[in-house]
């Protein structure tokens, strides 16, 4: 018999914790999962789910405004923001009931505990329950999945003004008239479009000179122009000097040496996230960490062979799907002793604006830094029949691949359903499927995925040359014209 109370204790019931607990129980491990708030974590309550519901509401409102695009009549939608927020709450509750309720995991044999866990040594945690209870439990293995929270930088005056983060945004009842957003990353960009389409006047401030700095610059610029066209105002390359409550909420910024003041009735801080390392007693367990998160190797193992950390708490990847992936890696290594590593080369990410912006693999900048020879293949959405049918012709697929065999290095997509299309390329890259393989695979018509195949077709096109066509003409006696190979942007 084991000298420990449990085989596996999972700290945190968000995306990583739920996956880790489910896998551990499936492997036959006696498992406990400890969650201090509500199962489901940020994704269900303050992240992916509510933000996408809000984006969908904004998209429907915009479609009503642009009815003529579909042969209908343009109208200004009647928006009851309280109804929208109520729908957000109902949807996330539905997701919780369907996938995250404690009973679902208890039926798997998992002991679900509501409370806060703190290490008192490397094999024992103290649990303070919401009911005031206090107990100690030990485990053979630990999986720390405590997530992250919104980070607000120490801006002068920030403590004296009310502000929103993703933790509080979805609890407001009234639509801001003038919303100022600090941060032009994924959260700031998504919420800027959603709130603008629902009727707010939105200004976005960022210290970088462009939005979405981790994405392809060309495609990110296309998105920025789209959002500006919808009425969103940007102050880029701006240093935030101070915030105050003068005449509302005023943000004082410096741009190109000039001072400006942006005033609104609400301020959203979309300035990143910070791992929830405080209060876990990591020092008591001798776990190595920093302000950036708990340090883990590619097997998600900490400096202790029996303690693993997954998801946002590690500071490595702040995506729900990577939390899920890391939990699989951690539990497989710990409980099965089967070697598995984080797949850092094929991490897809998507910003769910309209149009969406997605990416997987190496960026063009990374390929240049690594001095890797590549060819770029471009395919516009205007050549995808389904996009034309849906009036979604704004967009572009960009593929960086090896010229001679079509090995894919990285893909960026700006356009409708980019999140679905990027998955096809992620699967291809993971399994060594080349552009030639994709081009030779039958895709149904009319679909957006056919655009992925036609983009891959360009590998064939760019590997053609004038002399090859002339030779074919001569050998077979063909009488047509030789294509114009002088146009580097030729699309077939």
**Residue numbers belonging to the annotated binding site for FAD:** 52, 312
Annotated binding-site residue numbers for NAD(+)? 183-190, 272
Annotated binding-site residue numbers? 52, 183-190, 272, 312
What whole-number distance in Å separates Cα of residue 85 and Cα of residue 91?
10
Which of 312, 315, 316, 306 has its CA nearest to residue 285? 306
- Beta strand segments in 295-421, E: 307-309, 349-351, 356-361, 375-380, 396-401, 408-415
What whole-number distance in Å separates Cα of residue 17 and Cα of residue 320?
11
Q: How does DSSP assign 64-132, residue by residue?
A: HHTGGGGTS---PPP--HHHHHHHHHHHHHHHIIIII-HHHHHTTT-EEEEEEEEEEETTEEEEEETTS
What whole-number distance in Å separates Cα of residue 47 and Cα of residue 320?
9
What whole-number distance in Å separates Cα of residue 458 and Cα of residue 464?
10
CA separation, residue 77 to residues 53, 61, 160, 198, 201 (Å): 17, 6, 36, 9, 16
And the tokens for 412?
């960026």
> In this structure, are residues 8 and 30 in contact, taking their beta carbons and an 8 Å threshold?
yes
Which of 417, 473, 463, 412 has its CA nearest to residue 436? 463
Place of tokens 């008591």: 284
Residues 219, 203, 58, CA angle at the centre, nearest 5°? 70
Other C-beta atoms lying within 10 Å of the C-beta of residue 367: 17
For 300, which DSSP code?
A: S
Residues constituting the chain: 492
Query: What residues have CB less than 8 Å from 202, skipping those under 6 apart?
Result: 179, 180, 181, 192, 195, 196, 231, 232, 233
And the tokens for 391?
């009036």
Which class for 399: exposed (0-12), middle (13-18), buried (19 or more C-beta within 10 A)? buried
Which of 486, 443, 436 has its CA nearest to residue 460? 436
Which of 84, 91, 267 has its CA nearest to residue 173? 84
And the tokens for 83?
């109804």
What whole-number distance in Å separates Cα of residue 254 and Cα of residue 205?
11
And the tokens for 138?
């030990």
Q: In what order do the strands lie in the sheet with 258-264?
A: 238-244, 249-255, 258-264
């Amino acid at each position: 018999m084991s000298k420990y109370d449990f085989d596996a204790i999972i700290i945190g019931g968000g995306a990583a914790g739920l996956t880790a607990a489910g896998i551990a129980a499936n492997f036959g491990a006696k498992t406990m999962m400890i969650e201090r708030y509500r199962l489901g974590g940020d994704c269900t309550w303050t992240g992916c789910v509510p933000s996408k519901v809000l984006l969908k509401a904004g998209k429907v409102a915009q479609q009503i405004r642009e009815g003529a695009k579909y042969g209908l009549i343009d109208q200004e939608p009647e928006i009851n923001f309280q109804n929208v927020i109520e729908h957000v709450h109902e949807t996330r509750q539905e997701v919780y009931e369907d996938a995250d309720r404690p009973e679902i995991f208890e039926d798997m044999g998992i002991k679900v505990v509501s409370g806060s866990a703190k290490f008192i040594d490397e094999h024992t945690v103290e649990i303070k329950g919401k009911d005031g209870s206090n107990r100690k439990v030990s485990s053979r293995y630990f999986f720390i999945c405590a997530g992250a929270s919104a980070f607000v930088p120490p801006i002068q005056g920030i403590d004296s003004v009310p502000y929103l983060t993703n933790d509080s945004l979805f609890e407001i009842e009234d639509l801001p008239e003038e919303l100022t957003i600090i941060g032009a990353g994924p959260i700031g960009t998504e919420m800027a479009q959603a709130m603008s389409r629902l009727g707010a006047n939105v200004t976005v401030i960022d210290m970088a000179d462009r939005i979405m700095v981790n994405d392809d610059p060309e495609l990110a610029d296309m998105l920025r122009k789209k959002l500006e066209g919808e009425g969103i105002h940007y102050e880029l390359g701006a240093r935030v000097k101070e915030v105050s409550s003068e005449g509302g909420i005023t943000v004082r910024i410096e741009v190109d040496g000039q001072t400006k003041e942006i005033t609104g009735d609400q301020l959203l801080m979309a300035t990143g996230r910070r791992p929830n390392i405080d209060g876990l007693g990591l020092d008591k367990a001798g776990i190595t960490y920093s302000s950036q998160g708990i340090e883990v190797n590619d097997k998600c193992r900490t400096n202790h062979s029996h303690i693993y950390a997954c998801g946002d708490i590690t500071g490595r990847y702040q995506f729900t799907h990577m939390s899920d992936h890391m939990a699989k890696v951690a539990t497989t290594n710990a409980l099965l002793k089967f070697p598995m590593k984080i797949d850092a080369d094929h991490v897809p990410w998507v910003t769910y604006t309209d149009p969406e912006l997605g990416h997987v693999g190496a960026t063009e900048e990374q390929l240049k830094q690594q001095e890797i020879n590549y060819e770029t293949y471009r395919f516009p959405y205007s050549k995808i029949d389904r996009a034309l049918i849906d009036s979604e012709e704004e967009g572009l697929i960009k593929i960086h691949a090896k010229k001679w065999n079509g090995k894919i290095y990285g893909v960026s997509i700006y356009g409708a359903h980019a999140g679905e299309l990027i998955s096809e390329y992620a699967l291809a890259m993971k399994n060594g499927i080349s552009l030639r393989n994709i081009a030779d695979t039958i895709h149904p018509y009319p679909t957006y995925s056919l655009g992925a195949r036609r983009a891959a077709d360009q590998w064939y096109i760019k590997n053609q040359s004038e002399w090859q066509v002339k030779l074919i003409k001569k050998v077979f006696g063909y009488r047509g014209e030789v294509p114009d190979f002088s146009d580097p942007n030729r699309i077939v």
